[in-house]
Structure 1
Amino acid sequence: MDAALFAKSLLLGLAIAAPLGPIGALCINRTLERGILAGLAGGLGTALADGVYASLAAIGFAAFSDALARIDMPLRLLGGAFMLWLGVREMRPAPPRAPAPVRPRDLLGTTASTFLLTITNPMTILAFAALFAGLGLAATSSNADAALVVAGVFTGSMLWWCCLSGGVALARHRLPPAFARWVARLSGAILIAFGLAALLTALA
């Protein structure tokens, strides 16, 4: 196994996941409202989307960049509309309560929604393409290298979401009751801002 290639890919996964944007705010809110499993389910959706992008880029970076250019506007419109819808919903948080047992169907829905949000988020797409090229990962030459890149990106992304969800879950009981409500509102505001930005840039 090429340890250097895996380390670069893991670093890419961490770098893409770590900035606290709309997905990070959602992960924190889900953990506060429904517990660590809900936060991890959201993180899994994001990590899977990052893995999809890594797969496409590792197969052929030039084709990947060209494909992104072709579908840029539809993705911006879809992602912007989805972020606006989620943002409005997040601005109306549920009353604070202890996390209830989460059903597998709920976890699947959380994973699916964050996967869709990540896969259609223009900022994630642009950051991924820039960092992928900057780290020299576009030069992967074999199927084994491509698989290693995908595994590294997924691992790095999931590692961040485990740390974030775990940290929030541990600190939850030390936070004031109103904290979850304000996080939900902040999460909604961030989603609305990103959604509007995506729609305006697409229409411009």
Structure 2
Amino acid sequence: MHHSLGLLQLGALSLVPTALGGVLFGLALAAPPGPMNAVIAEESALRGWRAGFFAGLGAMTADACFLVLAVLGAATVITETPGVRRIMVGAGGLLMLWFAYGAVREANTAVTEGDSSVTSGDSRGFRKALVLALTNPYQVAFWLTVGVGLLEPGVVDVASYVPAVGTDALTVQTGHPVLLGGFFGGIGLWITGFPAAIVAARARIERLAPLIAWVSAAVLAGTGVLFLLRAL
């Protein structure tokens, strides 16, 4: 009995690096600046933490959809069919420009009429981020490259790249449910903490919300123009 418990404990401990690796992968995907974080920042600044969190949840839902498509192999059609990819890039660019226009309007409204004039609603940010993420071919490309590597069963010995660390000390098991759980856990940490940081900054600096909305609009507009140029 004690022997079995010991084996279970050893097995659980051996999965700790896998879980941590998944968290780091999730943070690496969610944290870099871009249109998704621009939407999260805008929603958090204008409507509060819940709205920012739900916007992040929309982006994470898109990742879950791409995960299913990657498992089924259906997402490959997007990258192997130039016409489909071009349509996605163009549609994503137009959506970003439209959302950038909306962000500017809301920022101006917040300046002239105050924060109370900005409409609330958690589902709005969720839908906005979800649609943007689903039309983002680069997010699809992630799941067809790095994502496929995460899904395929295997072992990555991170310690082998760090001479000072002992052998097998940081072994990550790809294709393991714990890795995927850690991955989405990392995204969850970001979409929880990032809106909180935006709201805290807004509370300390008066009238910061419109500035964040304008910066978000600039990021969305710039990315939208880039997408349209690549589509054409």
Which of these two proteins has the greater Rg computed from alpha carbons?
Answer: 2
Separation (CA, whole Å) in 2 of partners of 1:101 and 1:77: 29
Unaligned residue ranges in structure 2 (runs of 5+): 1-11, 155-174
Structure-1-length-normalised TM-score: 0.80
Match of 2:98 among 85, 110, 131: 85
Q: Deviations over 1:65-123 (max 9, x none)?
A: 344333312211211111111011112223254568986xx212221111111111233
* 1:139 counterpart (136, 152, 156): 152
Of 166, 186, 195, the residue aligned with 2:224 is 195
Equivalent position amino acid for 2:24 in 1:
L
Question: Any conservation in 2 of the 1:35–1:99 contact (CA below 8 Å)?
Answer: no
Q: Look up the match of 1:173.
A: 203
**Residue pairs, 1:14-163, within 5 angstroms:** 14-57=27-70, 59-60=71-72, 64-70=75-81, 71-92=84-105, 93=107, 94-96=109-111, 97-98=114-115, 106-133=121-148, 136-140=149-153, 145=175, 148=178, 150-163=180-193
1:14 shift after superposition: 1.3
Task: Identify if the C-alpha distance between structure 1 residues 171 and 82 changes in structure 2 by more than 3 Å, giving closer, same or farther.
Answer: same
Stretches of structure 1 that go unaligned for 5 or more consecutive residues are none
Answer whether contact 1:76 1:122 (CA < 8 A) is retained: yes
Query: How far did 1:64 drift?
Result: 3.4
For residue 211 of structure 2, what is the aligned residue in structure 1? Answer: 182
TM-score of the superposed pair, with normalisation by structure 2: 0.71
| Preserved contact between residue 96 and residue 221 of structure 2 (Cα < 8 Å) | yes
Cα RMSD between the aligned structures?
2.7
